[in-house]
Structure 1
Amino acid sequence: MDVSEDINSELADYVTDSFSRQGLMRHLGASITELRRGFCQLQAPYGADLTQQHGYFHAGVTSSLVDTAGGYAGLSTYTRGDSILTVDFTVNLLAPAIGDSLLAEATVIKSGRTLTVCQLEAFTLKAGSRVHVATGRQTLIRLADTSDGPA
């Protein structure tokens, strides 16, 4: 994982610890490949169990990855001890997700005291080519001073 210097190591550890508790991400084989303040990139390898009937990555996989990337991009703008939840997100599928892996990238557009808005993008990687397969927008709510751990 590539962690930028613009996010302190304590907050980066908080984000990666939270990510490690996500059962769905574990099931998808996803990992954080890049993290910096206001940005998160996830990657999941291709697997037959992640596809729809044509053999493309399933839209549910794409949506889950971009939603999760957005959540961690948003969390990276707050402090250890806060948590976030998705309020709303929209994903437009632009092309069949055919490739060796799926990348999800999220960039914070605006991090506010309560709400955060993120731009979401998904790409497939195949034989060195990067294909833009989805785009979207997400709104998160900050839960100040609320543990990110299990209830």
Structure 2
Amino acid sequence: MKGDISAERAAFLMEDFERGFIEHCRLKAREASSGRFCSEVEIAPCHRQQDGFIHAGLMATMADHTAGYAGFTIVPAEFQILSIEFKINFLRPAYGDRLICRSRVLRGGRQIIIAESEVYDRAEGVERLAAKAMVTLMAVHRDNLASKR
């Protein structure tokens, strides 16, 4: 990606990341740089499914949302990012005390952006790759979205 983002833009995106549904999921932003974003979540009982594993829906949400914010790092501030498609592969059941998601833009276009997310399960201090997602994003000028609400 061209250049790095300003400290102000990184701080804004990290704060913005944690609003709405994501706040409910307890996801936290950890790092933002040009074309990259990292998030994590400390696992609580509400994040687990009936067999005690971390719910796949949490991992999918984390992969999608974090990729979206990686996309935000490469577009002008007046653009919004919308997911238009994603595919996720769950590589192993996650059961640890924390998930860490590292996302990066693979191809940044004027309107369509391709990103990938890797979701790591941390158990007993060791990270293991638990899921990998490919996410297709669309950059849309915020003025074009305002009339759609």
**2:22 aligns to what SS in structure 1?**
helix
Q: Does 1:128 align with 2:125?
A: yes
Cα separation, 1, equivalents of 2:31 and 2:74? 15
Q: Which runs of 4+ in 1 moved over 6 A?
A: none
- Matched with 1:118 is 115
Instruction: Give the C-alpha shift of residue 145 in structure 1.
Output: 4.6
Written as runs of structure 1 = structure 2, the 5 A alignment for 1:21-36 is 21=19, 23-36=20-33
Alignment of 1:66-145 (within 5 A): 66-145=63-142
Instruction: Decide whether the 8 Å contact of 1:82 with 1:147 is kept in 2.
Output: no
- The answer to whether the 8 Å contact 2:68/2:83 transfers is yes
* Contact 2:18/2:27 (8 A) holds in 1: no
Sequence identity, in percent? 27
Greater Cα offset, 84-93 or 33-42 = 33-42
Offset at 1:147? Answer: 8.5
Question: Is contact 1:38-1:77 (8 Å) kept?
Answer: yes
3-state SS, counterpart of residue 117 of structure 2: strand
Deviation string 1:95-135 (CA, Å, 9 cap, x unpaired) is 00111101111110011001000011100112220010001
Q: Is the 8 A contact 1:11 1:79 kept in 2?
A: no
Trace 1:34-49 onto structure 2 (pairs within 5 A): 34-49=31-46
Query: What's the secondary structure of 1:113's corresponding residue?
Result: coil
CA-based RMSD: 1.9
Alignment partner of 1:51 is 2:10: no
Unaligned runs of 5+ in 2: none
Which structure 1 residue ranges, 5 or more long, are not aligned? none
TM-score norm. by structure 2 comes to 0.90
- Aligned positions, number: 145
Which residue identity lines up with residue 120 of structure 2 in the other structure? F
- 1:130–1:20: structure 2 CA closer, same or farther, 3 Å change rule? closer
**In structure 2, C-alpha distance between the alignment counterparts of 1:131 and 1:148, rounded to whole Å:** 38
* Counterpart residue number, 1:20: 18
Q: Aligned partners of 1:42, 1:50: CA distance in 2, in Å?
A: 16
Distance 1:131 1:6 in 2: 29
